[in-house]
Amino acid sequence: MVLGITFAVLWYVYGYFAFGIVSVPVLLVGIWTLATAREAVPTDNFRLCPQCGYNMTGNTTGQCPECGGSA
């Protein structure tokens, strides 16, 4: 999207039509990407140690191997 804005500014400043032709599709792709982007949502089986933040996914002991705390 920044590239599209750059081309649009160059089109405005220099009046070179090729910058305008390139800026429109680049801006549209940038807007579409921002509109459809989604945050990654952790699944239910993703666990972190409450004390140190170590990823304890798959840990069956219930004890954190990093800090020794219990999950």
**pLDDT tens figures, 9-54:** 887 788 877 877 888 888 888 888 888 887 766 566 678 888 998 9
24 shares its domain with 46: no
31 and 53 belong to one structural domain: no
Q: How far is 17 from 70, CA to CA, in rounded Å?
A: 64
pLDDT of residue 45: 66
Instruction: Give the chain's end-to-end CA distance (angstroms, integer).
Output: 43
d(CA 18, CA 39): 35
Range of the domain at 9: 2-36
Instruction: Specify the pLDDT at position 14.
Output: 86
Check: pTM over 0.75? Answer yes or no: no
Number of domains making up the chain: 2
- At 1, the pLDDT band (50, 70, 90 cuts) reads low
What integer pLDDT is reported at residue 43 of this predicted model? 61
